[in-house]
């Protein structure tokens, strides 16, 4: 009976993980990935290009910022996660110099590492005593604020360069040399018993950071890093809202893989910038551009539909009759003609047997 209840609890936890992860992805598709790319792109602009975006930091915000930094430093001290999957494993640690454990598991994990909450898949095997400890850690698909952790990309990067790949990243098998979710000075325990498990820890390095932070000493550099990241996010959002041409230029310089999340962004203005950014590729990558434009043909009475329709007209070299200055009824008929042609000519760049009728 006990085993059945444990199995049921594990299945429920795994289902909860999947639902939480799916909900977060549906709610804000591409949010963390696109924000990260925008931050990097803004950082790459010359200083004179950022001058228009910079605003002085009000003196009145200093006290609030100090309190916010201390609250976040305090939140960084504990870590607590639930696991649902399969395997047997146990680890007890009072820093990596004083630890013991052994086992293997693969599970969904839901909880928080300091200030960063989230849900993710992971696989881990480990064994040994003290510094003679082997630790193999694979972290897979994740969702939630955990993706903003400063080490997240190290945990999830793989040889093909795609963050979040389910194969995860092999981190050093010698524990004191590897970079995993456990810091050298963590005190805690991990237990996976068949189908359910738990991970709990106190981070002594973060405790020291909090105590020294009371005197405005930031040994972890997380306060300054967070403020710089937030500033970059604000600059990127301002770029989206007020300087879309700059955003288009940034996106035009990205690889196809890094540009892709912007087509799925929750903001229509970001999607529009992504669509406009591929115009320079139409001659060399007609098929790629056509597939992206086709996604937005059904967005009636929006800039996205206009960009898509005019882009497809350029890619195909045909006049389907779409014109922003014409009536809505005329443009709806033009869109239907365009869709009919696309259905008849699915191959990118294929020429029609008969040109569509112009209005």
Residue-wise pLDDT tens digits, 282-320? 888 888 888 888 888 887 667 888 898 888 889 888 888
Structure token pair of residue 312: 């497809």
What rounded mean pLDDT belongs to the chain? 75
Residue 7, domain member (yes or no) = no
* Nearest by Cα to 251 from 231, 278, 269, 233: 278
**Is the CB of residue 132 less than 8 Å from the CB of residue 173?**
no
Overall average pLDDT of the 154-178 stretch: 53
Q: Are residues 91 and 179 in the same domain?
A: yes
Do 83 and 206 fall into the same domain? yes
Residue ending a domain, choose from 193, 210, 227:
210
Contacts of 167 (CB under 8 A, 6+ apart): 138, 140, 158
pTM of structure: 0.56
Same domain membership, residue 206 and residue 90? yes
For residues 202 and 291, membership in a common domain is answered with no
65 within some domain: no
Boundary of a domain, candidates 185, 210, 235:
210
In this structure, are residues 157 and 169 in contact, taking their beta carbons and an 8 Å threshold? yes
Percentage of the chain lying above the pLDDT 70 cut: 66
Closest CA to 355 of 42, 305, 345: 345
Confidence of residue 154 (pLDDT cuts 50, 70, 90): low
What pLDDT sits at residue 201?
Answer: 95
Q: Which of 36-45, 300-309, 334-343 has the lowest mean pLDDT?
A: 36-45
For the chain, how many structural domains are there in total? Answer: 2
> HEC states along the chain?
CHHHHHHHHHHHHHHHHHHHHHHHHHHCCCHHHHHHHHHHHHHCCCHHHHCCCCCCCCCCHHHHHHHHHHHHHHHCCEEEEEEEEEEEEEEEEECCCCEEEEEEEEEEEEEEECCEEEEEEEEEEEEEECCEEEEEEEEEEEECHHHHCCCHHHHHCCCCCCCCCCCCCCCCCECCCCCCCCCCCEEEEEEEEEEEEEEEEEEHHHHHHHHHHCCCCCCCCHHHHHHHHHHHHHHHHHHHHHCHHHHHHHHHCCCHHHHHHHHCCCCHHHHHHHHHHCHHHCCCCHHHHHHHHHCCCCCCCCHHHHHHHHHHHHHHCCCCCCCCCCCHHHHHHHHHHHHHHHHHCCCCCCCCCCCCCCC
pLDDT at 103 over 90: yes
The residues, ordered by sequence, that sit 6+ positions from 188 with a Cβ below 8 Å of its Cβ are 79, 93, 182, 199, 200, 201, 202
Q: Which residues contact 86 (CB under 8 A, 6 or more apart)?
A: 10, 105, 106, 107, 194, 195
pLDDT of 236 reads: 61
> Which domain-ending residue is among 192, 210, 228?
210
Same domain assignment for residues 281 and 198: no
- In which domain, by residue range, is 117 found? 75-210
Judge if 195 and 249 occupy the same domain.
no
């Amino acid at each position: 009976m006990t085993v059945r209840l444990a199995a049921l609890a594990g299945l429920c936890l795994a289902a909860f993980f999947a639902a939480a992860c799916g909900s977060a992805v549906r709610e804000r598709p591409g949010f963390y990935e696109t924000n990260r790319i925008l931050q990097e792109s803004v950082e790459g602009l010359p200083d004179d290009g950022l001058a228009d975006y910079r605003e002085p930091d009000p003196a009145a915000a200093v006290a609030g910022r100090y309190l916010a930094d201390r609250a976040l430093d305090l939140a960084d001290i504990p870590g607590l996660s639930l696991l649902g999957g399969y395997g047997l494993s146990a680890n007890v640690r009072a820093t990596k110099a004083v630890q013991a454990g052994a086992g293997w598991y693969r599970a969904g994990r839901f909880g928080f590492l300091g200030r960063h909450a989230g849900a993710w898949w992971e696989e881990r095997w480990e064994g040994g005593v003290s510094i003679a400890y082997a630790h193999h850690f694979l972290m897979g698909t994740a969702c939630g604020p955990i993706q903003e952790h400063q080490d997240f990309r190290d945990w999830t990067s793989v040889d093909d360069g795609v963050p979040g790949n389910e194969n995860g990243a092999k981190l050093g098998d010698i524990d004191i040399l590897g970079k995993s979710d456990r810091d050298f000075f963590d005190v805690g325990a991990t237990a996976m018993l068949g189908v359910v498990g738990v991970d709990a820890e106190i981070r002594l390095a973060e405790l020291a950071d909090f105590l020294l932070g009371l005197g405005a000493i930031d040994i972890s550099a997380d306060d300054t890093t967070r403020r710089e990241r937030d500033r970059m996010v604000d600059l990127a959002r301002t770029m989206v809202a007020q300087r879309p041409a700059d955003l288009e230029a940034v996106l035009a310089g990205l690889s196809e893989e890094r540009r892709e999340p912007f087509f799925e962004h929750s903001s229509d203005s970001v999607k529009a910038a992504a669509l406009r950014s591929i115009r320079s590729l139409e001659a060399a990558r007609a098929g790629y551009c056509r597939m992206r434009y086709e996604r937005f043909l059904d967005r009636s009475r929006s800039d996205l539909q206009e960009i898509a329709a005019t882009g497809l007209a350029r890619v195909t070299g045909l006049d389907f009759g779409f014109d922003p200055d014409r009536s809505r009824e005329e443009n709806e008929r033009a869109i239907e003609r365009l869709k009919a042609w696309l259905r008849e000519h699915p191959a990118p760049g294929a020429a029609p047997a008969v040109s569509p009728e112009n209005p």
